[in-house]
Structure 1
């Protein structure tokens, strides 16, 4: 191998040959210049490391310092001296470079992970993605979506915003539950349930290592409600509903007469109604238990719907409006013509105010809209309606319709449901008009 002083003159004079050749510096051992057949000139440093505790050295290793042009001979020489100093200390320059690259890679990985934690995996961003997924999942009920949004926006986000999801633990979530008054058991339970769904979803995606709510104590379930309105209270609700602006008055009266869930009544669509057969078919995707449900319509219900249809015809300036020709589509209870009614809580407050005024500033004992459904079921029991018929009217899949009985019992109780709802409507008409007493209502079992 040729040797000589590596300088600008010697480097410029080094011409390519048919294969790589090296010029070794005769002043600094290991410092050399490699010349390639294509004319490339690269500064190198060749060295051997002593084995720990032994005089024997390792095989020669070669370290590429850099290309001539980007480095001058003097700069390359200085770098070679630095490398020689490292070797003298037992440090492998190549390993040091590998370690430096690894450290840079690790720093970049940590920075990227931190950016992901503060961005993509920040609670509010994961929660927003989950809400979008939850809302668009097939068969998801609007009431569930509304509750999920309420839990996230009103309870979880105020305390967890900005926190990376993988860093949220039980100690972060328990205060969220504790902040809800103990008497609000239902809300505590709801926040726990929807938070568990959210974190479980994130766990399955691999965003978090586990679901912290899985090891938390589930809040106590709210006490089962048993509020039932008596006949006098029902009369006050019925009469006060007439003082509400439409369509909220019909909404409350339909709740009383049909016993269906508030969400199902609020979003009742003309396409679900058939005046010729006097039936309302609630599709499976709108029913709470995902089971399609046929509700026979009593005469007072048809009268309420006729009035709503009449209002539609008058608004559309139809000739000879009579209300007996129901629209084929659209929401029956709507203030916009495009969406079902909203603001039901506000309407309930207005109803309570009208009731209080009618009772000389004496409001009814606390009651909820769902109590109207329980009141119908209790009224059925009082009138002797079979339990299976009550379950069928309420679209409950429990008791007599669950388990093996539910598999083999295919009777839909249609006629019995119609008789029960007609008798209940007659009872409501009777107590409202005060034309007959409850004791004179014919028990429904006598009619079946």
Structure 2
């Protein structure tokens, strides 16, 4: 084997052959230069190391220090001396290098897996998958609530945060950020967040549902406001100057006692003028039960107004209020999209109420909610002597008289009783709006029973 002091001169003088050739340094044992047939010059360190578990037996190994050009002979020699010290200490440089490569590769894989995990399990991505799945098996109202909770309350704080790293403190901070007076909103956010994290837990995305260890927000106080007759009369008068369909929207709410979203989503296809009925399909009813609502003549007249407005808007040649459209949203400004601007609509109505009261020199009306109209109808039915079962049937409540065993065996639909009750209520409303016609109030002779 050729030996010489490895210097720049001896390295430059080394000639390639038909196979790898070596020049070994005569100063540092094991330090050498490998010259490849292509002319490559590579500094190496050759050493013997004891085999694992066999201290008396050794193995020859080579460690590549680096290429000439990237390293000078002196830099390579210094590195060879460092490697020699490691061998004397029983450390295998080659194995250490392989271990370092393996560790680096493992760390890279972990980093890539973590990055993938952080992306796939980012709240915004998992929430999008959950909402898409939730929409398929739930009513539009429930899905709308779920989407509102995710987009308005959870997304701003959790958007890019990986699901496994979201804890109770994160969620408690979100709940605490909702004003205490909005107790119902806190409960709703808690409920849908719990459903979402429970779904993620069942899929294996998280180890536990953090909501299970949290205290459920307190329920809001029961709303027990029922509007007085004079307040009902004021609301009715205030709707006179509201633009359509808001005027009819609030009058139908007042006269039928149905839920806000159900009236707002009313479709002409659900209405039958010949029988004066409105059929709310199961997928639009809050409790998932289809519901037939008899329409008093006052309600029919209100819908006639909207039907005529549709004909005028569409420039129909045969304009007749009795010809209701076959389909399309009833409560709509354009005829294409159902009414949904509840806050703005209520603000507009409240402004008109203030005008009516100011003109009469009366005190401002106490705070009220649209849902109070539904409770007011139920209270009004009681005052008119209408049976509890009829009230429940009119409001489409699957509780009380229709719940439990009674609900299984009681199949009477109270169709005629509901119509009589709603007709009586419409007459009562008209009587308080127009006191001169108070003689039209008729008390139904059906004694109310407890459930």
TM-score range, shorter chain: 0.7 to 0.9
Residue 418 of structure 2 corresponds to 417
Deviations 1:414-442 (A, max 9, x none): 22222221222222222222245489522
Q: Per the alignment, do residues 293 and 184 of structure 1 end up closer, same or farther by CA in structure 2, a change over 3 Å counting?
A: same
Gaps of 5+ in 2: 5-10, 37-41
Deviation at 1:198, TM superposition (A): 3.0
Query: For 1:188-199, what aligned pairs fall within 5 Å after superposition?
Result: 188-199=186-197
TM-score norm. by structure 1 comes to 0.81
Deviation at 1:228, TM superposition (A): 0.5
* SS across alignment from 1:284: coil
Does residue 237 of structure 1 match 2:242? no
Q: Which whole-Å CA distance do the structure 2 matches of 1:57 and 1:251 have between them? A: 96
Does residue 109 of structure 1 match 2:114? no
Does residue 171 of structure 1 match 2:169? yes
Gaps of 5+ in 1: 16-21, 36-41
Q: Which whole-Å CA distance do the structure 1 matches of 2:200 and 2:307 have between them? A: 47
Q: Which whole-Å CA distance do the structure 2 matches of 1:93 and 1:336 have between them? A: 79
Q: Which whole-Å CA distance do the structure 2 matches of 1:83 and 1:406 have between them? A: 87
Query: For 1:343-354, what aligned pairs fall within 5 Å after superposition?
Result: 343-354=341-352
Greater shift in the superposed pair: 320-329 or 221-230: 320-329
TM-score norm. by structure 2 comes to 0.80
Q: Per the alignment, do residues 55 and 247 of structure 1 end up closer, same or farther by CA in structure 2, a change over 3 Å counting?
A: closer
Deviation at 1:217, TM superposition (A): 0.6
The answer as to whether partners of 2:258 and 2:395 remain within 8 angstroms in 1 is yes
Residue 7 of structure 2 corresponds to none
Deviations 1:73-100 (A, max 9, x none): x9xx989987766444322455424422
* SS across alignment from 1:427: helix
The answer as to whether partners of 1:131 and 1:149 remain within 8 angstroms in 2 is yes
Q: Per the alignment, do residues 318 and 122 of structure 1 end up closer, same or farther by CA in structure 2, a change over 3 Å counting?
A: same
Deviations 1:78-130 (A, max 9, x none): 89987766444322455424422332133223433553466444444444444
Query: For 1:193-342, what aligned pairs fall within 5 Å after superposition?
Result: 193-342=191-340
Q: Which whole-Å CA distance do the structure 1 matches of 2:177 and 2:22 have between them? A: 78
* Equivalent residues, number: 431
Could you say what the CA RMSD is over the residues aligned between the two structures, in angstroms?
3.9
* SS across alignment from 1:56: strand
Residue 394 of structure 1 corresponds to 395
The answer as to whether partners of 2:265 and 2:339 remain within 8 angstroms in 1 is yes
